[in-house]
Amino acid sequence: MSEIIALLGYMGSGKSTLGKALATSLKLPFRDLDDQIEAHAGTSIKELFASGGEIAFRKLETQVLTTEVQREQGQVLALGGGTPCYGQNLDILHAAGVKTVYLKLSLVSLLERLKRGRAKRPLIAHLTEEQLEEFIRKHLFERQFYYNQASYVVDVDGLTVEQAVERVARACLYSK
Ligand SMILES: Nc1ncnc2c1ncn2[C@@H]1O[C@H](COP(=O)(O)OP(=O)(O)OP(=O)(O)O)[C@@H](O)[C@H]1O
Ligand SMILES: O=C(O)C1=C[C@@H](O)[C@@H](O)[C@H](O)C1
Ligand SMILES: [Mg+2]
């Protein structure tokens, strides 16, 4: 099977933004698991959470992920923020030979980005700014256990998109 690079990390860590830029630089197609889920369901993630709750969303996420990792063509795949943290998703990725990259950002940087982008993210949409900090601190701590199991951990804090893409490309192309 050809190579798939999957970007993982907390909400707002730049998976979609850097994923697109990385794909362009490597001349690979780019796909976003969240977009694939929405296309598959024919509705938005916000609606999926509202109608079936998080459990139904996670089932669908695993189903779409399983299809994505079986693609013959190489690609850069941006995962959802929670993808590696549920069920057997990490095993599914690594068993298929996918190179996973954790885009690591500090709490302060994530908070700064997520303050401005809450509405389309159902897990944090209802939180006030104060609650948001408390929520992210705890949630990130819990999720790091999974994120740190990525094939590569790349610190992208304070980097421009171009710098971050270069660092990610170097990590997955030139190391084992
Ligand atoms: N290197 C960067 N420097 C500055 N801003 C960035 C950088 N990368 C991404 N951003 C900005 O951060 C925000 C979040 O990025 P993005 O949507 O790509 O994150 P994500 O990890 O895909 O989030 P989600 O898990 O919610 O899908 C966007 O507004 C984007 O423009
Ligand atoms: O962090 C999460 O659990 C999520 C992040 C988004 O990418 C979406 O997959 C969804 O909003 C859930
Ligand atoms: Mg995204």
The interface predicted TM-score of the complex, written ipTM, equals 0.95
Q: Per-residue pLDDT for 1 more than 50?
A: no
Query: Stretch 139-164: mean pLDDT, rounded?
Result: 98
Query: Can you state the angle between helices 33-41 and 45-69, rounded to 10 degrees?
Result: 110
Question: 19 CB under 6 A from ligand 1?
Answer: no
Domains and CATH numbers, the chain: 4-174 (3.40.50.300)
Q: What is the Å distance from ligand 2's center to 139 Cα?
A: 12
pLDDT digits (tens, 9 = 90+) for 62-90: 999 999 999 888 999 999 999 999 999 99
Paired residues of 99 in beta bridges: 5
**Residue 167: per-residue pLDDT:** 97
Q: Which atom of ligand 2 is nearest to the CA of 54?
A: 12
Question: 58 CB under 6 A from ligand 1?
Answer: no
Q: Per-residue pLDDT for 2 more than 70?
A: no
pLDDT digits (tens, 9 = 90+) for 53-64: 999 999 999 999
Residue 96 structure tokens = 């298929």
Question: 46 CB under 6 A from ligand 2?
Answer: no
User: How far are the Cα atoms of 94, 110, 125, 129 from residue 122, in angstroms, in the given order?
Assistant: 28, 16, 5, 15
DSSP annotation of 151: S
Q: Which atom of ligand 2 is nearest to the CA of 85?
A: 3
Q: Which ligand has the nearest atom to the CA of 158?
A: 1
Query: Stretch 81-106: mean pLDDT, rounded?
Result: 97
Q: Per-residue pLDDT for 108 more than 80?
A: yes
110 CB contacts (<8 Å, ≥6 apart)? 10, 11, 12, 13, 136, 140
Query: Stretch 138-147: mean pLDDT, rounded?
Result: 98
Query: Stretch 22-50: mean pLDDT, rounded?
Result: 96
Question: 121 CB under 6 A from ligand 2?
Answer: yes
pLDDT classification of 176: cutoffs 50, 70, 90: low
Query: Which of 104, 117, 80 is closest to 159 using CA atoms?
Result: 104
pLDDT classification of 120: cutoffs 50, 70, 90: confident
